[in-house]
């Protein structure tokens, strides 16, 4: 792999940004898993401690990150209310890559642009696992430290995923 390989670049950017923001992250390599439950079991955590980062596009073309705990999904009405807009959407993978520099392991940490972060209130006070800039890696971080490092808005922006 060359230095321009997006996997290496994403991992390096992640680690540099975590260090610059004073975030204590523990990076863990993990095997590919087929489900949230499988990842949680591999990592020895509860599913709700695995936090997915969604890239969300605003109507004005800017973006934000939404942090959603495992077992839950974004509530678009709640997120729109939290952000104070009436239109948000999930961009396609190429647009998200252009906005963040990440193809997988998406996270606010090390994004090529420091977009605003909105975190679901259920992550507060927990040690969480987030994407670490590439596939096959997660990073454990204190959710409160992550929220503080990015000046995140913390509110209720999720609903339980249906089980069917």
| Domains in the chain: boundaries | 6-159
**Residue ranges with strand state E in the chain:** 26-29, 51-58, 63-69, 72-74, 88-89, 117-120, 127-131, 137-142, 153-155, 158-160
**Residues whose CB is less than 8 angstroms from the CB of residue 100 and which lie 6 or more positions away in sequence, other chains included:** 55, 63, 106, 111, 112, 113, 115
Does the structure show a pLDDT above 70 at 5?
A: no
What digits encode the pLDDT tens for the residues 24-82? 999 998 767 788 899 899 899 999 999 999 999 999 999 999 999 999 999 999 999 99
What pLDDT score was predicted for residue 14? 93
Q: Is the pLDDT of residue 1 over 80?
A: no
Give the pLDDT confidence of 83-139 residue by residue, as tens digits.
999 999 999 999 999 999 998 889 999 999 999 999 999 999 999 999 998 888 899
pLDDT of residue 8 exceeding 80, the answer is: no
Pick 148 or 134 by higher pLDDT. Answer: 148
Q: How far is CA 55 from the centre of its chain?
A: 8
pLDDT band at 163 (very low <50, low <70, confident <90, very high): low
C-alpha angle with apex 14: 121 to 120, nearest 5 degrees? 10
What pLDDT score was predicted for residue 3? 46
Separation of alpha carbons 21 and 99, rounded Å? 20
**pTM score of the predicted model:** 0.92
Q: Indicate the SS3 state at residue 40.
A: helix
pLDDT at residue 7, as a whole number: 58
6-159, which class in CATH?
alpha beta
């Amino acid at each position: 792999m060359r230095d321009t390989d997006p996997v290496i670049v994403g991992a390096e950017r992640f680690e540099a940004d975590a260090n610059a923001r004073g975030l204590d992250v523990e990076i863990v390599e993990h095997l590919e898993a087929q489900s949230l439950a499988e990842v949680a079991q591999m990592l020895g955590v509860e599913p709700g401690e695995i936090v997915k980062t969604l890239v969300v596009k605003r109507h004005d073309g800017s973006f934000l990150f939404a942090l959603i705990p495992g077992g839950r999904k974004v509530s678009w009405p709640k997120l729109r209310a939290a952000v104070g807009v009436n239109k948000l959407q999930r961009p396609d993978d190429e647009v998200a890559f252009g906005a963040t520099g990440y193809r997988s392991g998406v996270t606010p940490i090390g994004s090529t642009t420091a977009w605003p972060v909105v975190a679901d209130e259920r992550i507060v006070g927990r040690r969480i696992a987030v994407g670490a800039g590439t596939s096959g890696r997660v990073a454990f971080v204190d959710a409160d430290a992550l929220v503080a490092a990015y000046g995140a808005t913390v509110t209720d922006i999720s609903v339980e995923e249906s089980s069917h």
